[in-house]
Structure 1
Amino acid sequence: MRVAVSLLVLSAFALALPAQDRETTADDLLRAVERKLVAANERAGPCIACVVVSRSEKYPKPTSDVPGALGTFDPKQFAKDNPNGGEQLAKALDLSDPRAVADHGFACGVVIDDKGLVLTPYHVVDGATKIYVHLPGAAGSYADIHAADACHDLAVLRLLSPPAGLKAIKFADVRLTQRDGPRGNVTSGKLAVLVASAYVPNLPINKPSAALGSVTNVRHHLPIQGLDQRQRRLDDYYLHGPFLEHDAKLNTGISGAALLNLDGEMIGLTTSAPVPGLGEKQPEYAFPLTDQRLRVIEVLRRGEEVEIGFLGVLLGTNFASLTVSGTTPLGPAAKAGISPGDVITHIDGATVRNYDDLLGHIGSALAGTKVTLTIGNTRDVTLALGKWQHTRPVIASVRPDPVFGLRVDHDSILAQTVGERARATTPKNIPVGVSIGTLAPNSPAEAAFKKLGDDPQKRWLVTHVNGKAVTTPAEFYAAAKGQKTIKLTVIDPTEAKRQEREVSFP
């Protein structure tokens, strides 16, 4: 361990130790450190898993059409079904056997629910055809991808045969220092414990390892060379999100390990994903588990899609200030009356001065979140964020049941699709509703919308269900639930004179 870290540890514990009659020695301090490290490892160690991932195409195809359902693997049945060389191949594909791990990939994961949910970065399981989670004590289970979001690089796995006695990690209260705000409780110099369960050849995967270090820096966004502000996007957390930089190391950098405080509470999830522009020897990073990040994890825990917040403002060429040059027609900002020339100075009371600040607040929020914008330090505007449209992979095993084949989405998706083709209007006359999400092939809903022409997702806004106004997907599904017939009122926001039409099914 580095001398600098050792001195920091000793200094910290010298202040923490109770007063004694004799002088505190270096040995006392080191033993105090040792007790803290052991206690943190004992508290969090049972929650740390080794996630083995295969991308082999040799497995039988999953029988379920639920997104992320990968299923288990029965090597005996596989060998029986493939008598010519199947037994040897079955051994190579059996991820429950540590001897097979070397032929596949592995990372770490953290148990976040005692019913069998495990958190890991999305890039760990991207493209997986089979996943097995090794747990302390030689326990383990095959797993499905319960939910995942590539934008935030997070995934939650669901163990198919969760062992008894699973223990969930405890999350710490992580607060980062904000501009012109109070000092956070996770800052440079904070001691940290890294706990990981890594594969080591010829050894069983049954016990995690721990290392002591510190948070060396808190990056409000990564210092990526050659990336200007215009290239920072909401659909890639690595381009706008905060990171903890740390020096706690085990054998090698590994994704999905738990970075803990000395109380054994989790403050970060490590990532070793290569980030272009950081060079070959990039530091060790972890996602800080702030309230914003935990809200994303909670959505994934429920198995649902993470819906990134969307404001709908266009900025001028000077990204050093937040002067609005325009708004997305039909978008949240336009509905709230934000106009060209307005200068956003605060979001929910926090000072924002440039594009990076704006991304930090909006990128960490979810669709439907109410935020208050301060305009020019003179007036406050409260609005509900829409949903950001992107093409990054999303997995959600829990989705609303389609209504006669129809699933809907936020109206901000249509706003971003039609763009400037939407007719400008005053804020109070901007239509609200839900957009067309997906239409199941050969369904009653698909047949009904075909009568109105092609590409319904790019044209129609649903404003009413059986005469009841709907403004969110949740309101739509609530209004449609249990109905034997559905009559939708729809409009085309690109028309000069918006004409209401009716779509009925079945």
Structure 2
Amino acid sequence: MTKNTDSRNPKILRTRRLTVLSSIAVLGLAAIVGGPIAFHQLNVPELSSLAQAAETAVQPESTAQPAGFADLVARVKPAVISVRVKIDEPQPTASSDEDGSPAIPPGSPLEKFFHDFGSPNASSGHEVMIGEGSGFFISADGYAVTNNHVVDHAQSVEVTTSDGKSYQAKVVGTDPKTDLALIKVDGQDFPHVSFADQQPRVGDWVVAIGNPYGLGGTVTAGIVSAEGRDIGAGPYDDFIQIDAPINKGNSGGPAFDHNGNVIGVNTAILAPSGGSVGIGFDIPATTVKVVIAELKDTGYVTRGWLGIQEQPVTADIAAGLGVKQAKGSLVDEAEPGSPAAKAGVKPGDVITAVDGAAIKDPRELAQKIGGMAPGTSVTLSVLRNGEPKDLAVTLGTMPAERQAQADTGPGSSAAPSKEQNLGLLLAPADQVAGAGEKGVAVVAVDPDGMAAEHGLQAGDIILDVGGKAVSNPDDVRQDLAALRKDGKQAALMRVQSVDATRFVAVPLGHA
């Protein structure tokens, strides 16, 4: 069975395959604007001169040709390629009896059919899937850039150039974290393009060329709408937003500036209706150049690694920490044996700078650390209990992707205790099945309470409150009372969930 595929989520689509169906209308307006004229003061020669001037002013409007991108497109389009991949994936089979026949109820009209003609599961259990995307040559010897999600798990890759020639390509290397891939076609003298040296400005013209719906060689134009966009695709999100229509099938295609240099690689669209609504996202050329160079050298990308779980500093968390500004990256956990743990980074620290460069949020920290080589020594500036502190860290190598740890929801075996003001039902974690040995388990949450409003859920484990470790509900109550007595507006709790540890700032009610 053959079908076309595309990666997507409800709002952000990876643009492996789609096209442009809209049309563009060009409107021209010409007007002569003048003030009131006292004709009794004008003689015939003056009227004749005025008429000639008006004719001269109007004429250029009627003969001038509108500026376009034809010359630019003619120069760069030969370097843009269509990318077609074949993926052979195992498919789940329907439920069946032990003898391999489908689980059909006895007496069903289908029972005799399957007995005579065989089970619908009598297939190989595999499905051939065809995906289509875009790419572009960056060298005369056949190196080309595309998206990781275009060639991910591909058994074969075929590229087609603008003149209709097809070539087999091999995948040199991929980087899922930035959704980039480098492929190679054997040959010489391929037309190719260069990356822009500078980040484009918001409002600059941009031309996108790609392979929407497998049509190949489609050109659209627009402007750079925004920069530094985070769409939740990964820790290194720093996308350029453009309004040049890009669709499924444009994935991996280039976006050019008015000089014909690549400013970004098309990778995703905002698509509430399934197609382009004029909001597309490009990986910046500054990122692409670094990643592609490393893929060409080694086939993979190595990044510096701190080894922390982190979260943004919200206004509520800043109040709970007693800091003035909601900036920086709050450390939820330093992984045992990680570079951060060895350097003395602790939960509750707020990382405010790296080597003196201010850090706005966890995304900026991830980008800065990820852009450094393993083994690099850096200085982390942190706030600990409101006091500034510098820590020297030698970065490690980011490990391979780790599976999220599965956990089962706790079943209470102890009499829970209520924390009335926050709407929590609590019990010692070591007395709740599956909750572990440390902390206080949240057995139930009042859906209308303050804790639920700020993200606490049944099954969470409260590890500490206001920087103090807790082991039973009385510890939680006493620490909350102390915070209220000290005039704190919020209680900062370190909470362990199924897949992560985080801080939750819950506003304190009156005792």
TM-score normalised by L of structure 2: 0.50
The alpha-carbon distance between structure 1 residues 50 and 371, as it changes in their structure 2 partners (threshold 3 A), is farther
The alpha-carbon distance between structure 1 residues 48 and 290, as it changes in their structure 2 partners (threshold 3 A), is closer
The alpha-carbon distance between structure 1 residues 27 and 323, as it changes in their structure 2 partners (threshold 3 A), is farther
The alpha-carbon distance between structure 1 residues 383 and 263, as it changes in their structure 2 partners (threshold 3 A), is farther
* 1:214-237, Cα deviation, whole Å (9 max, x unpaired): 112224311x6xxxxxxxxxxx53
Note the C-alpha offset of 1:123.
Answer: 1.0
Note the C-alpha offset of 1:291.
Answer: 3.1
Note the C-alpha offset of 1:371.
Answer: 4.3
The structure 2 residue matched to 1:211, chosen from 208, 220, 236, is 220
* 1:89-127, Cα deviation, whole Å (9 max, x unpaired): xxxxxxxxxxxxx98332111112222111111111122
- 1:132–1:141 contact (8 Å) kept in structure 2: yes
**Alpha-carbon distance in 1 for matches of 2:303, 2:237:** 13
Q: Are 1:328 and 2:302 counterparts?
A: no
The alpha-carbon distance between structure 1 residues 382 and 136, as it changes in their structure 2 partners (threshold 3 A), is farther
Note the C-alpha offset of 1:349.
Answer: 4.2
Match of 2:145 in 1: 119
**Alpha-carbon distance in 2 for matches of 1:313, 1:29:** 61
The alpha-carbon distance between structure 1 residues 314 and 145, as it changes in their structure 2 partners (threshold 3 A), is closer
**Alpha-carbon distance in 2 for matches of 1:23, 1:334:** 74
Q: Are 1:285 and 2:295 counterparts?
A: no
* 1:232-267, Cα deviation, whole Å (9 max, x unpaired): xxxx53x65011221212676621111011000101
**Alpha-carbon distance in 2 for matches of 1:3, 1:149:** 40
- 2:78–2:161 contact (8 Å) kept in structure 1: yes
- 2:213–2:248 contact (8 Å) kept in structure 1: no
SS in 1 for 2:138: strand
Note the C-alpha offset of 1:51.
Answer: 0.7
* 1:317-338, Cα deviation, whole Å (9 max, x unpaired): 9565434455333322234444
Note the C-alpha offset of 1:140.
Answer: 3.1
Of the structure 1 ranges 300-309 and 376-385, higher mean CA displacement relative to structure 2 is found in 376-385
SS in 2 for 1:287: strand
- 1:292–1:364 contact (8 Å) kept in structure 2: no
The structure 1 residue matched to 2:294, chosen from 273, 292, 299, is 299
- 1:5–1:213 contact (8 Å) kept in structure 2: no
* 1:277-307, Cα deviation, whole Å (9 max, x unpaired): x785675433332434422121112242212
- 1:5–1:214 contact (8 Å) kept in structure 2: no
Of the structure 1 ranges 317-326 and 102-111, higher mean CA displacement relative to structure 2 is found in 317-326
Note the C-alpha offset of 1:268.
Answer: 0.8
Amino acid at match of 1:255: S
The structure 2 residue matched to 1:389, chosen from 394, 399, 422, is 399
What are the equivalent positions in structure 2 for 1:164-179 lying under 5 Å apart?
Answer: 164-175=188-199
Q: Are 1:311 and 2:335 counterparts?
A: no
The alpha-carbon distance between structure 1 residues 382 and 169, as it changes in their structure 2 partners (threshold 3 A), is farther
Match of 2:203 in 1: 189
What are the equivalent positions in structure 2 for 1:90-101 lying under 5 Å apart?
Answer: none
Note the C-alpha offset of 1:131.
Answer: 1.1
Match of 2:158 in 1: 132
- 1:314–1:327 contact (8 Å) kept in structure 2: yes
The alpha-carbon distance between structure 1 residues 26 and 50, as it changes in their structure 2 partners (threshold 3 A), is farther
- 2:268–2:282 contact (8 Å) kept in structure 1: no
Note the C-alpha offset of 1:146.
Answer: 1.0
Q: Are 1:355 and 2:362 counterparts?
A: yes
**Alpha-carbon distance in 2 for matches of 1:192, 1:246:** 8
The alpha-carbon distance between structure 1 residues 193 and 273, as it changes in their structure 2 partners (threshold 3 A), is closer
Of the structure 1 ranges 141-150 and 37-46, higher mean CA displacement relative to structure 2 is found in 37-46
Note the C-alpha offset of 1:351.
Answer: 2.4
SS in 2 for 1:104: strand
SS in 2 for 1:259: strand
**Alpha-carbon distance in 2 for matches of 1:333, 1:6:** 62
What are the equivalent positions in structure 2 for 1:47-446 lying under 5 Å apart?
Answer: 47-56=79-88, 104-159=130-185, 161-162=186-187, 164-175=188-199, 186-197=200-211, 208-222=217-231, 237=234, 240-249=236-245, 254-272=250-268, 280=274, 284-315=279-310, 321-324=328-331, 326-339=333-346, 342-369=349-376, 371-376=378-383, 381=391, 383-391=393-401
**Alpha-carbon distance in 2 for matches of 1:189, 1:317:** 30
- 1:243–1:285 contact (8 Å) kept in structure 2: no
Match of 1:41 in 2: 73
The two structures, once aligned, show a CA RMSD in angstroms of 4.1
SS in 2 for 1:131: strand
Amino acid at match of 1:218: E
Amino acid at match of 1:38: A
The alpha-carbon distance between structure 1 residues 149 and 383, as it changes in their structure 2 partners (threshold 3 A), is same
Amino acid at match of 1:301: K
Structure 1 residues not aligned, in runs of 5+:
8-21, 59-101, 176-185, 225-235, 394-506
TM-score normalised by L of structure 1: 0.50
Q: Percent identity?
A: 26
- 1:336–1:383 contact (8 Å) kept in structure 2: yes
Higher strand share: 2
**Alpha-carbon distance in 1 for matches of 2:298, 2:138:** 13
The alpha-carbon distance between structure 1 residues 157 and 291, as it changes in their structure 2 partners (threshold 3 A), is same
Amino acid at match of 1:212: A
The alpha-carbon distance between structure 1 residues 28 and 244, as it changes in their structure 2 partners (threshold 3 A), is farther
* 1:442-475, Cα deviation, whole Å (9 max, x unpaired): xxxxxxxxxxxxxxxxxxxxxxxxxxxxxxxxxx
Amino acid at match of 1:53: V
* 1:378-418, Cα deviation, whole Å (9 max, x unpaired): 6655544322224389xxxxxxxxxxxxxxxxxxxxxxxxx
Match of 1:396 in 2: none
Note the C-alpha offset of 1:315.
Answer: 4.3
**Alpha-carbon distance in 1 for matches of 2:342, 2:397:** 14
* 1:161-193, Cα deviation, whole Å (9 max, x unpaired): 32x311332001243xxxxxxxxxx24322101
The alpha-carbon distance between structure 1 residues 368 and 219, as it changes in their structure 2 partners (threshold 3 A), is same
The alpha-carbon distance between structure 1 residues 260 and 344, as it changes in their structure 2 partners (threshold 3 A), is same
**Alpha-carbon distance in 1 for matches of 2:144, 2:203:** 29
Number of equivalences = 302
Of the structure 1 ranges 259-268 and 245-254, higher mean CA displacement relative to structure 2 is found in 245-254
